[in-house]
Amino acid sequence: MKKFLKSFIYAWEGIKDGFRHGRNMKSHGLSAMIVLIAGWFTGLSQIEWMIICIVIAGVMALELMNTAVEYVVDLVTTEFHPLAKKAKDIAAGSVFVFAIASAIIGCIIFFPKWFG
């Protein structure tokens, strides 16, 4: 049980580190806050809130994984290596793909309420 509870502490430490040192985590956090405030004022339905929460969590989780990949690559080599670059680029690309999809989902949810 003690080991299980410690896993939550380790996970929280990872999240804090991601916000402290992750290049884009702060901007994702700010974007999430703006979306949550906009959702509050827009009056989203329960389903829409669930979608927004999943999308925000997905972007944050992928950004944390991207930061983890960067840490591991930097641990393995300090020199430029084409495979190290590919690993970092692909991890960053996964965040980008999900962020674009999240923006599209946000437009689908918010625009009809604002402009419809």
Write out the catalytic residue numbers: 63
Asked if residues 87 and 66 have their Cβ atoms less than 8 Å apart, the reply is: no
Q: By C-alpha distance, which of 40, 49, 92 is closest to 69? A: 92
| Amino acid residing at 96 | F
Burial of 79 (0-12, 13-18, 19+ CB in 10 A): exposed
Burial of 31 (0-12, 13-18, 19+ CB in 10 A): middle
